[in-house]
Structure 1
Amino acid sequence: MTLRTRKPRKKGEPTIALINIVFLMLVFFLIAGTVAPPLDERVSLVDTADLEGSPPPDTAVVLPDGTLVLRGEPITPEDLITAERTDPDLMRLVPDRDLPAQMLLEITATLREGGIADVRLITQRGMQ
């Protein structure tokens, strides 16, 4: 009579432990999300949908043809470098969406060569 040897059993994946951890995280975030008090029912929030925005006073607008406008007056990039600003190392530009990128790069390069260390572009954030 020969004895059969048993094949060793394969250990299963520890999925139960993973499910427990995910469940505990779910419970934690549900509880943590309700800790903040709700907004008072008597409060009516301000509606800014129809608010007209205007650029800060030290911001130059770049039109589609490359014309720079500062405080409502046309200006050259060279004059923009020497224009009076609250921060002489910072220049904010609002480029038109139809302005060619190459023209924008040329304007920013001229400003940087003229000594403006920080040139920032102001854009509209998409809310979709």
Structure 2
Amino acid sequence: MNLRPPRPRQSRESIVPMINVVFLLLIFFLMTAQIAPPDPFEVTLPLAQEAADPTSESRLYISREGQTGYNGLTGAPAMELLIEIRDKRDPLQLRADAELEASRLAQLLRELAQAGFQRVEVMVGG
């Protein structure tokens, strides 16, 4: 009869806790990431010899036909959303197509000024 206590087994380190931590980090980064909406339409920026870096992340698009786009919306709903949710003191990027008529651009800038926007950056290509 064998009365000796059994030999203790070598325990192997479990990798499950590390997998759990990796998945938790992945979920955290996916939840906190800011995913930018796609551009509402293709815009060809006018060319300039010098261009400054934009100071704002918020973009208002205007096509060559004069259609506006903001945050995934186009037309009048885009402008309504822009005026509703934007802080008027923060700069706004205006990405106007190079073939847009200057009179339509001037009209849009007047509308933005009347809505209370204090600073609009017209973006150009280099």
TM-score, structure 1 as length reference: 0.47
Larger relative contact order, structure 1 or 2 (CA cutoff 8 Å, min sep 6)? 2
Higher Rg = 1
TM-score, structure 2 as length reference: 0.48
